[in-house]
Amino acid sequence: MDGIGRASPLDAAESCIYGYGALKFLTANAMLLAHTLHYGALDLVTLHLKMVNQFLSDSPKVKTELS
């Protein structure tokens, strides 16, 4: 969680995608899902989505990694 939280979805999109994949894998287990939610995974992913949406709405030129 700390690694994904330090990465910016705008500057390190590929790293975040790998982190999101790891979170998806971890949440398949109910016990690990509870732990990831306790550590703020949902809040973090929501924040990253808001950052990407804000960037896409403000910028006419979209980075190829985000499109």
What total number of domains does the chain contain? 1
Q: What is the mean pLDDT of residues 47-66?
A: 78
Q: Considering the domain boundaries, does residue 10 fall inside one? A: yes
Q: Considering the domain boundaries, does residue 65 fall inside one? A: no
CA dist., res. 29 & res. 43, Å (int): 19
Q: How many CA atoms does the CB half-sphere of 43 hold within 13 Å?
A: 8
Q: Considering the domain boundaries, does residue 36 fall inside one? A: yes
State the residue range of the domain holding 38. 2-58
Q: Considering the domain boundaries, does residue 30 fall inside one? A: yes
Q: What is the mean pLDDT of residues 11-18?
A: 90
Q: Considering the domain boundaries, does residue 63 fall inside one? A: no
pTM for the structure as a whole: 0.75
Q: Considering the domain boundaries, does residue 39 fall inside one? A: yes
Q: Considering the domain boundaries, does residue 49 fall inside one? A: yes
For tokens 């190829």, the residue is 64
Is the pLDDT reported for residue 65 higher than 70? Answer: no
Q: Considering the domain boundaries, does residue 16 fall inside one? A: yes
